[in-house]
Amino acid sequence: MLSLESPRWAELRHAYGPAADVPGMLKSLVSGDARQALDDLHGVVAHQGSATTSAYAAVPHVVAAAEALSVSDSLEHLHFVGVVASAVAPPQIPDDLRAAYHAALERGLALAVEGLDSRDTYEDAVAALQTVAALSGKPRAARRLVSLLNEAAELFCPSCNTHLEMDLAARPATLARHNISFGGASSLVVPWTVNAGLSRNADLAWMDEFVVRLGGHQGRLEAELAMLGGTGPCPNCGARIDIYEAWQA
Ligand SMILES: [Zn+2]
């Protein structure tokens, strides 16, 4: 693990330049305002869900901080680690940081799995599963789970490329053209049916195994994942759309 006193930090980058200020954030995480420190790390080191080279050096420190907390208090720390691990187009991991980074991901995954059944709210339970997905090397599953917490999701019909929006709050969930779904053109909102099975792709089969560990939140998440694993008709051309594959997340 890279010492917080090392001059190496200044050679690493965050979203706004050299990462010489990251050790200060990591010190605050342990002995200062942890909430603010996590906000800073998200905003600077993993800016808008992207990873930077300093993120790889920060992750072992964040996992160590999480290990010192109770399982129920470690969710936000582990969430940061998951964001780094599931970043889109991440930079290459510097050779000198790789071993400690990967070892920290393994320890973070063990913590995240341990905490799956101790989340108070549905949102926290989904966030915990998202972290487990990210740390298990399933970044696409992690991003899909984030989308579940939004009431709407965007996708494109693979046949006619029409921009569609899904209303996840509706039962059954509905597909509509993106631009007019806000205007109340309800005749174009068509319900899409949900496949009963969740084993059509490896990501969903993987999630199915972990959902049973979510205790009281299991039922709701199973229903949400059924939508995620469903197919629906395109409101424009009628083609059957595989929601999981077409989802823009
Ligand atoms: Zn279409």
DSSP for 144-195 reads HHHHHTSSEEEEE-TTT--EEEEESSSSS-EEEETTTGGGT-GGG-EE----
Amino acid 77: pLDDT: 95
Amino acid 10: pLDDT: 97
Amino acid 195: pLDDT: 55
Distance 161 CA to ligand 1 centre (A): 6
Q: Which domain holds residue 69?
A: 7-114
Assigned domain for 123 exists? no
Domain count, the chain: 2
- Statement to judge: residues 157 and 241 lie in one domain: yes
Distance 239 CA to ligand 1 centre (A): 6
Which of 97, 114, 131 marks a domain boundary?
A: 114
pLDDT at 2 over 90: yes
- Statement to judge: residues 82 and 157 lie in one domain: no
Assigned domain for 140 exists? no
Distance 240 CA to ligand 1 centre (A): 8
Assigned domain for 169 exists? yes
Neighbours of ion ligand 1 (CB under 5 A): 157, 159-160, 162, 234, 236-237, 239
Amino acid 179: pLDDT: 67
- What is the arithmetic mean of pLDDT over 36-54? 91
pLDDT above 90 covers a percentage of the chain that reads 45
Residue at token pair 């229903």: 223
Assigned domain for 101 exists? yes
- Statement to judge: residues 37 and 97 lie in one domain: yes
Distance 182 CA to ligand 1 centre (A): 19
Distance 89 CA to ligand 1 centre (A): 29
Contacts for 54-57 with beta carbons within 8 Å, 24 or more apart? Answer: 54/9, 54/12, 54/13, 54/14, 54/19, 54/22, 55/14, 55/84, 55/87, 56/84, 56/93, 56/94, 56/97, 56/98, 56/101, 57/2, 57/8, 57/9, 57/12, 57/19, 57/22, 57/97, 57/101
pLDDT digits (tens, 9 = 90+) for 155-181: 899 999 988 888 877 777 788 887 654
Among 11-15, 93-97, 153-157, the range scoring the smallest mean pLDDT is: 153-157
Among 48-62, 87-101, 189-203, the range scoring the smallest mean pLDDT is: 189-203
Instruction: Report the first-to-last Cα separation within the chain, whole angstroms.
Output: 32
Assigned domain for 209 exists? yes
- Statement to judge: residues 33 and 97 lie in one domain: yes
Distance 232 CA to ligand 1 centre (A): 10
pLDDT above 70 covers a percentage of the chain that reads 90
- Statement to judge: residues 160 and 110 lie in one domain: no
pLDDT digits (tens, 9 = 90+) for 52-92: 999 999 999 999 999 999 988 898 999 999 999 988 888 99
Which of 114, 135, 162 marks a domain boundary?
A: 114
Query: Which range has the top average pLDDT, 105-114, 173-182, 233-242?
Result: 105-114
Reported as a pLDDT band with limits 50, 70 and 90, residue 186 is very low
- Statement to judge: residues 160 and 242 lie in one domain: yes
Select from 216, 206, 235 the least CA-distant residue to 136: 206
Amino acid 94: pLDDT: 96
Distance 245 CA to ligand 1 centre (A): 14
- Statement to judge: residues 41 and 98 lie in one domain: yes
Distance 160 CA to ligand 1 centre (A): 4
pTM surpassing 0.75?
Answer: yes
Amino acid 101: pLDDT: 97
Assigned domain for 189 exists? yes
Distance 166 CA to ligand 1 centre (A): 14
Sign of the dihedral through C-alpha 165, 185, 232, 123: positive
Distance 27 CA to ligand 1 centre (A): 52
Q: How far apart are CA 16 and CA 2, in angstroms?
A: 21
By the 8 A CB rule, do 139 and 123 touch? no
pLDDT at 191 over 90: no
Distance 197 CA to ligand 1 centre (A): 24
Assigned domain for 54 exists? yes
Assigned domain for 153 exists? yes
Which of 95, 114, 133 marks a domain boundary?
A: 114
Amino acid 158: pLDDT: 93
- Statement to judge: residues 108 and 156 lie in one domain: no
- Statement to judge: residues 104 and 14 lie in one domain: yes
